[in-house]
A and B are shown apart, each in its own frame.
Chain A
Amino acid sequence: MLFDHPHDSLPVDASLSLPASMVSWDALISFTEEQTEDSPLSAAKKYGMKLAVEELLSNIIRANSSAQSTSSPISVELLRFADPSEQQALFLQIKDNGLPFDPHFDDLDEGVVDAPLQDRPIGGLGLLLVKKSVDHVCYQHRDSCNIYRLISSG
């Protein structure tokens, strides 16, 4: 659904592209906060969007640091909907050209949250939080890039 539009048909209103390493962390998070705070979302939805982006950036940077000796770029982009009636939503896109990584958002095991704490692995909550923190999230690998799209409204 979020990839129904051809990529080039969605205007990018703002973007930031930096090396996918922790050196870029503060700038990427600040950019995301600016775009989120400027949106018409409620406080709870803004928090959820920032949380989802943070979790994805963290995964991408960790994967990049273990896979490559030099940092490939990572981008956070604010996309504009073609339909003016959807302007009350916030549409962010994250792109990187690291190794393909499909989180399979639709197939995530949500049963992990019911597991007794003592039996839980340390980890595994980040992608679940991404899914639970925004209205829609999806992934596509295209043109050698991992592309994550996130939308929230209201």
Chain B
Amino acid sequence: MTLNIQIESGFPLVSVIVEGHIDTQSAPQFLDVLTNLHLSELEELRIIASALTFMSSAGLRALVFAKQKMPHSARLIVVGAAEPVADVIIKTGLGSAVMLVERIEDIP
């Protein structure tokens, strides 16, 4: 149940590449990474999730935390999430706050 995270920073746009599971055990690692991103100054945060195999409510809480700390006009975009992961985001009503796209090229 490992989680690997890489950051590609091009401030004020930051991409966080996640690979593996975001569950109760690994979500603190994800939250730590997000917390250290100077969220209040970001214009766009991309979560590259094409290799993310699982996300529980612990991962959703980290996303909610990040969006709440970002400027109101800033965008939180999840790229390439598998259908079950995207479904969890939508089921919990976060689809209106988090933009879901299949590929980076789809970002408007």
**How large, as a class, is the contact surface on chain A?**
20 to 34
State the CA gap A25–B23 with chains docked (Å): 10
Residue of B with least CB distance to A121: B64
Size of the B side of the interface (Cβ < 8 Å), in residues, is 25
State the CA gap A29–B54 with chains docked (Å): 12
B58 CB within 8 Å of chain A:
yes
Contacts of B83 in A (CB 8 A): 44
A152 CB to closest chain B CB (Å) equals 13
Contact B92 A26 (CB under 8 A): no
Contacts of B96 in A (CB 8 A): 117
Query: What is the interface of chain B, defined by CB distance below 8 A to chain A?
Result: 1, 23-25, 54, 56-58, 60-61, 64-65, 67-68, 72, 83-84, 87-88, 91-94, 96-97
- Can you list 18 contacts pairing A with B, beta carbon distance less than 8 Å? A25-B24, A43-B84, A44-B87, A51-B84, A51-B88, A54-B56, A55-B56, A58-B23, A61-B24, A114-B93, A115-B93, A117-B64, A120-B68, A122-B61, A122-B64, A125-B61, A125-B92, A128-B92
Query: What is the interface of chain A, defined by CB distance below 8 A to chain B?
Result: 22, 25-26, 29, 43-44, 47-48, 50-51, 54-55, 57-58, 61, 112-115, 117-118, 120, 122-123, 125-126, 128-129, 132
8 cross-chain pairs, A with B, having the tightest CB-CB distances, nearest first? A113-B93, A58-B24, A117-B97, A47-B84, A126-B57, A125-B57, A125-B92, A54-B56
